[in-house]
């Protein structure tokens, strides 16, 4: 069932699995504000029955990053250019960037698990969109890169937080400051990729992972995800307490006692 198909983004739902497809392969799924709004809308439209959301890109590349029109004086039709944004009030600039970030924030909702299936280039905004997901299955031809600094910019689409937590501060700084490519072997070794498979097996491997994620009871997965997401911010004793509280909720639920 197709729930959305606009601005290079398609949302389909098959039972408990939703798929968000970046569907502009002729431009290697280059991103634009219109695409970000569509991705945000896809998040709003995901039914409550969905447990796993798969993010994929049509064609040879997952996403080659921000559409180069963003760096021209003309920009995108009907959109403020970067120069327009810079010249405006600071509050408006902040609000505009925050709006763009919405496309990258809903993937880690505790009521679902998101999986990015990544092939070919995942550059800049493409890298950050893959990082926005909980898990990443990568083809062996994947090429990640964070190119913002070479353009005089910073990664501002929520990618810095997960990147540091995955690879550590020093490696994250080196990746971002140099803009170099991170290939499949390094991505898997450093934790950016949960799994690397031959390009021809990417779709099947992603489907297998989605099926495995659906095997456990939904409430147990939701509780576990919330527990792990909060672990970094808690100290050891706080995490112990969070584990006890989470388990108590599960036991009461299994006993039919609810809250």
Q: Output the tens digit of pLDDT for each of the chain's 259 residues.
A: 999 999 999 999 999 999 999 999 999 999 999 999 999 999 999 999 999 999 999 999 999 999 888 878 788 888 888 888 888 999 999 999 999 999 999 999 999 999 999 999 999 999 999 999 999 999 999 999 999 999 899 999 999 999 999 999 999 999 999 999 999 999 999 999 999 999 999 999 999 999 999 999 999 999 999 999 999 899 999 999 999 999 999 999 999 886 6
Looking at residue 6, what is its pLDDT?
96
For residue 258, what pLDDT is reported? 66
**What value, to the nearest 5°, has the Cα angle with vertex 125 and ends 127 and 228?**
55
Q: How far apart are CA 132 and CA 94, in angstroms?
A: 20
| SS percent in the chain: helix, strand, coil, step 5 | 50, 20, 30
2-213: CATH number: 3.90.226.10
DSSP string, 19-46: EEEE--GGGTT-B-HHHHHHHHHHHHHS
How far apart are the C-alpha atoms of 9 and 30, rounded to whole Å?
Answer: 11
Two tokens at 148?
């913002």
Residue with tokens 């501060």: 169
Report H helices in the chain: 33-45, 82-87, 90-105, 125-132, 160-167, 169-178, 184-190, 202-213, 218-229, 236-254
Cβ atoms < 10 Å from Cβ of 222: 17
Residue-level pLDDT at 148: 95
Annotated domain spans of the chain? 2-213, 218-254
């Amino acid at each position: 069932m197709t729930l959305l198909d606009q601005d290079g983004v398609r949302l389909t739902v098959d039972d408990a699995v939703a798929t968000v497809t970046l569907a502009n392969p002729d431009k290697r799924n280059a991103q634009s504000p219109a695409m970000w709004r569509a991705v945000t809308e896809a998040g709003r439209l995901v039914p409550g029955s969905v447990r796993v959301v798969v993010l994929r890109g049509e064609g040879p590349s997952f996403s080659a990053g921000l559409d180069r029109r963003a760096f021209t004086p003309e920009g995108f039709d009907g959109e403020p250019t970067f120069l327009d944004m810079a010249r405006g009030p600071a509050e408006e600039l902040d609000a505009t960037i925050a709006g763009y970030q919405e496309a990258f924030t809903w993937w880690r909702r505790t009521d679902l698990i998101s999986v990015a299936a990544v092939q070919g280039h995942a550059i800049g905004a493409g890298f950050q969109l893959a990082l926005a997901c909980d898990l990443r299955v990568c083809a062996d031809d994947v090429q990640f890169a964070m190119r913002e600094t070479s353009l005089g910019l910073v990664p501002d689409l929520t990618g810095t937080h997960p990147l540091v937590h995955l690879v550590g501060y020093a490696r994250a700084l080196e990746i971002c400051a140099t803009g170099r490519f991170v290939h499949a072997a390094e991505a898997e070794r450093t934790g950016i990729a949960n799994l690397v498979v031959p390009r021809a097996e990417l779709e099947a491997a992603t489907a297998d992972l989605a099926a495995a994620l659906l095997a456990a009871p939904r409430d147990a997965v939701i509780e576990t995800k919330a527990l792990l997401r909060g672990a970094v911010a808690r100290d050891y004793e706080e995490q112990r307490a969070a584990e006890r509280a989470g388990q108590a909720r599960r036991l009461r639920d299994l006993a039919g006692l609810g809250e």
